[in-house]
Structure 1
Amino acid sequence: MGSPGLSNRSNGQQRLGITEPISLAGPTEYDVIKTRELEKYLQDAGLYESQEEAVAREEVLGRLDQIVKSWVKTISHAKGLNDQLVHEANAKIFTFGSYRLGVHGPGADIDTLCVGPRHATREEDFFGELHKILLEMPEVTELHPVPDAHVPVMKFKFNGISIDLLYARLALWVIPEDLNISQDSILQNADEQTVLSLNGCRVTDQVLRLVPNIQNFRTTLRCMRFWAKCRGVYSNVSGFLGGINLALLVARICQLYPNALPNMLVSRFFRVYTQWRWPNPVMLCPIEEGSLGLPIWDPRRNPRDRYHLMPIITPAYPCMNSTYNVTSSTLRIMSQEFQRGSEICEAMEASKADWDTLFEHYPFFEAYKNYLRIDITAENVDDLRQWKGWVESRLRQLTLKIERHTYGMLQCHPHPGEFSDKSRPLHYCYFMGLQRKQGVPVNEGEQFDIRLTVDEFKHSVNAYTLLKPGMDIHVSHVKRRNIPNFVFPGGIRPSHPSKITWDSRRSSELRVSGQNGQAEMSQGTVSGADDDRKRKRSEDSMDDNSKVSKSLTSSTPFSREVQEDRTLISASSACSVKFDDSEVNSMGGQESEKPVQFPSGESETNGSSRINHEVNPILPVTDTSISKEEEKLSIEKIMSGPYEAHQHQAFPEEPEELEDNSVERIQVRENVPDMKSENLDPSISKLAMSEQTVVSKETTCLTHGSLDELEPAELNAPFLCTDPAPVPQKKPLIRLNFTSLGKASDKGI
């Protein structure tokens, strides 16, 4: 049976993906030069490991494979198996994640999988006997088993190299040395933890099979991983993009531009995903039902799948959404970063920017005026490690609760990573930027009180089943000027804002544009007054006066926009403090001057979502205005196709995780496609979330998640919902209790 996603075109060439490529054009001389520059830039940035480290990794993996083979023979003998089975007893080590994809950097973890026979149990043998063997080895340090994780894992260092070891127990008495774990039959009679453990390897191998040029894919993926880290959008657990998410996004671009070099692939990555109408899914191959009955991502059947905001579907059975953690706030941030990347790539083509510009670090602590600070502590290192993992897996819930309790009017920007105050042992600190949703009217004196929301979040965190004395969490509101010094490089707070960056230049250009518009309006107003006086003196001035009136009329929309901005700046609200977001855009970082475009089910071009044509444009390599328009239409066609819409009733139940008696049930009326095709194919269908969802009362955004960044998804997908469109509402309250602030609220903080 052939690999999914592979088909033949009429010219005999193999086609990868679920649609025809957007362009088959090869590289230009400019692409060759810029690709060499990119490769050198990534090399100079230290993203490639040395030959010595590469050899050391191979040696560690070989040694680990020997250890598990010896381990399985030992337990086979202990369980009384006959001599032949003991002799044939075997286990194998596989790799996945960044190492298997070939994009890991120096010091990176190696994601590994141990595949064992049916008589080698997870609890007793893997986390028992194998753990004891590793514990006694001097080469192994920092051994930390996590048997109760969503995907059970054993973490340790082997000769200084970090290893994350998963276990898959197959329904076989003997594990063959040439075992192919990509076959679906390997999942027969496997438990849920084994399916999840196998998924990483199966997805990684399938990705490598579905890209036209592995080397170009690897270079582009290295670039995009580095970009995401620089821009603060690399963290699956925080609701951004993890390693597997980026790999799938890049692989799809490689399919759409099979003959392009990394320079062009990077540019098209931003261009395509800036135009992508989420929640249309990104898929490398059709979703297969499979014969084992395992749950797959399918919005037609699974209500929770319909609420995913940014579905990126894994290509191996059972296909899952790898980005169920994404919230409306993190999707907004990533969409803005895609747009920024697209603008910089266009500027690079005009020699007005370079690779340094693309990889400028996002000034998180200069971008907002208000932040939430989450501090955690524990009594010892082991407790802190466990507590940290649990809290990190729950932080996304705080974002969701704030979005829900403020009707989406207060937006969160979680920082993807923790900080540590060296003066405080056994301590970690997390931050979230806060800002009012752009375009929402501001009432004088309006405040956001999120104390009860924070209190609800802390209560859910403290429900940790392994909670021990000393495990504590402390949430507080801090202004930008009060951000602690230990979050800055070297522990030194910058005495002035960051150097001039692309974002600050763009912000300045927009402000200058706005000032020019205001000046033009002012001049028009003066001219209008003069014309009124002239009109009283002479009837001959009527033509001039008519021209000025037209000028004022054309300026009216801009005038309203400026007035709204003034209201935002002059008004103040509070997040259990005075919440002034007038400086949110001071660095030109997160907020753009134009309203953020959220996902919509309607196409940007009239009727293009209904077009039923074969997608096979052949585009020239060089970018002209015509080719870009053709490219845009091709992207539209990839996401569009004929379907019959149905209206479904509101789902009767909310997910249990955030359910609470004080929240009214949501009533949803949505259009869900009725696709006759057996396989779900986004190239010819819009999914339920592509249609406008009508939400009444209070909208509840719910989900649950896991900590493992490379883990594709949970078998039962979580339940998310989009923000309702801003409508006039009563004063919002984010119910949250900053108990750490004490009587701060009485002081107007």
Structure 2
Amino acid sequence: MDGDRYLGVTEPISTADPTEVDYANTKQLEEFVKGLALQGSREEEVRREEVLGLLDELVNVWVKMVSRMKGLNDEYVREARCKIFTFGSYRLGVHGPGADIDTLCVGPCYVTREEDFFVELHDLLQKTDGVTELHTVPDAHVPVMSFEFNGIPIDLLYARLPLWVIPEELDILQDSILQNVDEQSVRSLNGCRVTDRILRLVPNIEHFRTTLRYVKLWAKRRGVYSNVIGFLGGVNWALLVARICQLYPNAVPSVLLSRFFRVYKQWRWPNPVMLCAIEEGSLGLPIWDPRKNPRDRSHLMPIITPTYPCQNSSFNVSNSTLRVMTEEFKRGDGVCDSLDSKVADWSKLFEPYPFFESYKNYLQIEITAGDEEDLRIWKGWVESRLRQLILKVEKDTFGMLQCHPHPNAFHDTSKKVQVCSFFVALQRKQGAQHSSTPFDMCHTIAEFKHSVNQYLLWKPTMKIGVSHVRPKQIPTYVFPNGIRPVRPPRPPLLSGRPGSGPNMDNVPTSLSPEASTRAVVTPPSDGKVSDGKESKEPELSIPDTKRGAESLGVLGGPHSKRVRVELRSES
């Protein structure tokens, strides 16, 4: 790299060449992940390319059909075309086996999204051999049509340009392509624009791809891969990794992975992560600017997209999810630091996070629906509202209760109805002052209920309940092979020892009949215990009755039980 030139908004931290230990660690890392099938087979890649070719043919048949339907002359019909672009993990070259292909269809001005894309193209796809699982989400922030084509999952977006003819050589990186297009088209185009720009802003594409695969594997194993509920998704992790590649332009993947954790462990959020300077642009589109926009100032973990109009890609992050990710960055740095001076055993870094062994208190959000398709759309809607529940818990308990959501839903296949559950762990804010004053969660649950019930496609068979559960009450279907892990015996707790508390398993409770319908929680005083170690947190203090362990509030029913979270002082 030219000493006078560098990629990024600052000079690199280090331009040192790799050492023999760096190469050895990288080889060891490659050997470790080789058996994990992070990449698809050559046969699957060929099928993906074939499907993209078939999709390109199909959308061009569609656009000519639409041009005839709208009475365009023969010349326009002959020139009618759409262009297909890929983006996301497939375009970045980091997709795994079975992953979907994010695709964008760019069409001319007379082909509309509402009627032509979501109706005419949808009908054509329905009649096409090999197309299954066809679903449309026209009212999404970025409208999308999802389907499988010869077994390959596709997410298809549409952008409508103010052109009568789409040129064969269309450069979507030019800012001028955004001129006079609707908001949905700007968002759709920017998916491709961001992906392509990332690839142009990293010094070594192969090192970037390899490191990003490792980071995505780590994020999924550690339970922090989900943009919807407030963690980070694919593009967020890609931007974070790309910045590390800029800061260490000559480093090999093992070093880049180690520095990834070191840098973000120390990052002073909400200082933004940026791959390039934010451009004002000339089209008047809104950009991320906390100096002018109060809403932008509230963002906790800004990760800025590198194309105009620059936006914060991680606005969903909450205080609770930022805390969890920061703890995971610290853990990752600690693991990598212990491996830097020797040939590494990387398995510890990628150990799955023991979510159901790390806390004493959980919310279980159980949803049911009449059939598999209804559960799919109902689950998607509820998942999109979980972030609001987390924010409300933080707000209504004045930050005293922190949440750790699990990014996945768990399906109960033992029941005749379609059932799945989400889980959110609860803990006391570390260092918070102890108080015996309970927090009434009834309003929190009621607002969550109201939010969920706004779903326009709601059916009477779609139900949801929220239960407060202890580790012993976690359903077995969440565990691998349906087998609950054996918890090691707990050593006796000594009263008066610093940091220790009473063993709440056997604390007697004396609650009034009214209180017996309330779930009373005593969250931990010392924060989350990572890596499955025994928590010092006292367990829930609830009546030893069936009714006392019932749901915090059954959403969708006429009644909600009063929910109280009691933060008790430890003796």
Which TM-score applies when normalising by structure 1? 0.68
Quote the Cα distance in structure 2 between the aligned partners of 1:586 and 1:153. Answer: 38
Deviations 1:390-442 (A, max 9, x none): 11111000000000000000000000010000023322210000011111122
1:431 is matched with which residue?
Answer: 423
Q: Distance in 2 between the 1:590 and 1:318 partners? A: 43
Map 1:188-267; keep pairs closer than 5 Å: 188-267=179-258
How far residue 497 of structure 1 moved from its aligned partner, in angstroms, is 5.2
Matched, 1:419 2:410: yes
* Bigger mean CA deviation after superposition, 49-58 or 489-498: 489-498
1:313 corresponds to which residue? 304
Amino acid at match of 1:738: G
Q: Which amino acid aligns with 1:430?
A: F
Unaligned runs of 5+ in 1: 1-7, 499-503, 509-514, 519-558, 595-735
The equivalent of 1:52 in structure 2 is 43
Distance of aligned partners of 1:80 and 1:207 in 2 relative to their CA distance in 1, 3 Å threshold: same
Matches within 5 A, 1:607-618: none
- 2:377 is the counterpart of 1:377: no
State the distance in 1 between where 2:169 and 2:217 align: 35
Aligned to 1:472, which of 463, 469, 489? 463
Instruction: Please list, as runs of the form range in 1=range in 2, the aligned pairs for 1:175-186 lying within 5 A after superposition.
Output: 175-186=166-177
Using the alignment, how far apart are the partners of 1:485 and 1:567 within structure 2?
A: 29
- Contact 1:368–1:584 at 8 Å: present in 2 too? no
Letter in 2 for 1:224: V
The higher relative CO (CA closer than 8 Å, separation ≥ 6) is in 1
Give the equivalent residue in structure 1 for 2:500. Answer: 566
Q: How far is the alpha carbon of 1:38 from its aligned partner?
A: 1.3
Distance change in 2, residues 1:492/1:67 (3 Å): same
- Listed one character per residue, the Cα deviations across residues 90-142 of structure 1 (whole Å, up to 9, x for unaligned) are 10110000000000000001000001000110011111111111000121001
> Which of 314, 321, 344 matches 2:335?
344
Q: Deviations over 1:242-299 (max 9, x none)?
A: 1000000000000000000001000110110111000000000001011111111000
Q: What displacement does 1:312 show?
A: 0.3
Q: 1:584 deviation in Å?
A: 7.6
Cα pair distance change 1:243/1:569, threshold 3 Å: farther
Is 1:367–1:590's contact at 8 Å kept on the other side of the alignment? Answer: yes
1:433-472 alignment, distance < 5 Å: 433-443=425-435, 445-472=436-463
Q: Bigger shift: 462-471 or 452-461?
A: 462-471
Deviations 1:690-744 (A, max 9, x none): xxxxxxxxxxxxxxxxxxxxxxxxxxxxxxxxxxxxxxxxxxxxxx962479898
Q: 2:138 aligns with which of 144, 147, 154?
A: 147
State the shift of 1:495 in Å: 2.4
In structure 2, C-alpha distance between the alignment counterparts of 1:748 and 1:233, rounded to whole Å: 26
> Which sections of structure 2, spanning at least 5 residues, go unmatched?
510-514, 537-550, 567-571
Give the 5 Å matches for 1:655-694.
none
Q: What does residue range 400-415 of structure 1 map to in structure 2 within 5 Å?
A: 400-415=391-406
Q: 1:322 to 1:591 in 2, by over 3 A?
A: farther
Residue 14 of structure 2: aligned partner: 23
Does residue 588 of the first structure (1) align with residue 403 of the second (2)? no
Instruction: Give me the identity figure in percent.
Output: 61
CA distance in 2, matches of 1:590, 1:494: 11
Q: 1:579 aligns with which of 517, 521, 527?
A: 521
Whether the 8 Å CA contact 1:570–1:582 is kept in 2: the answer is no
- Per the normalisation by structure 2, the TM-score is 0.89
Q: What is the rounded CA distance, in whole Å, between the counterparts of 1:584 and 1:745 in structure 2?
A: 27
2:265 and 2:330 in contact (8 A); partners too: yes
Checking the alignment, whether the CA contact within 8 Å between 1:414 and 1:431 is kept in structure 2 is: yes
Rounded to whole Å, the distance in 2 between the matches of 1:747 and 1:49 is 49
- How far 1:70 sits from its partner (Å)? 1.1
Q: Is the contact between residue 374 and residue 476 of structure 1 (CA under 8 Å) also seen in structure 2?
A: yes
CA offsets per residue over residues 569-606 of structure 1, 9 Å max, x none?
77999994232335987953489999xxxxxxxxxxxx
SS in 2 for 1:566: coil
Letter in 1 for 2:428: R
How has the CA–CA distance of structure 1 residues 592 and 74 changed in structure 2, closer, same or farther, with 3 Å as cutoff? same
Contact 1:455 1:737 in 2 (8 A): no
Runs of 4+ in 1 over 6 A off after TM superposition: 568-575, 583-586, 590-594, 740-749
Is residue 109 of structure 1 aligned with residue 106 of structure 2? Answer: no
Q: Which residue of 2 aligns with 1:84?
A: 75
Paired with 2:529 and 2:315, the residues of 1 have a C-alpha distance of 30
**1:393 aligned partner, one-letter code:** S
User: 1:167/1:186 Cα in 2 relative to 1: closer, same or farther (>3 Å)?
Assistant: same
Which deviations, in whole Å up to 9, do the C-alpha atoms of 1:180-202 show, x marking residues without a partner? 11111111100000001111100
What is the root-mean-square deviation in Å for CA atoms of aligned residues? 3.0
Q: Is the 8 A contact 1:112 1:163 kept in 2?
A: yes
Find the aligned partners of 2:253 and 2:141 in 1 and give their Cα distance.
36
Question: When the two structures are aligned, how many residues end up with a matched partner?
Answer: 541
Distance 1:748 1:35, change over 3 A: closer
Cα offset, 1:385, TM superposition: 2.2
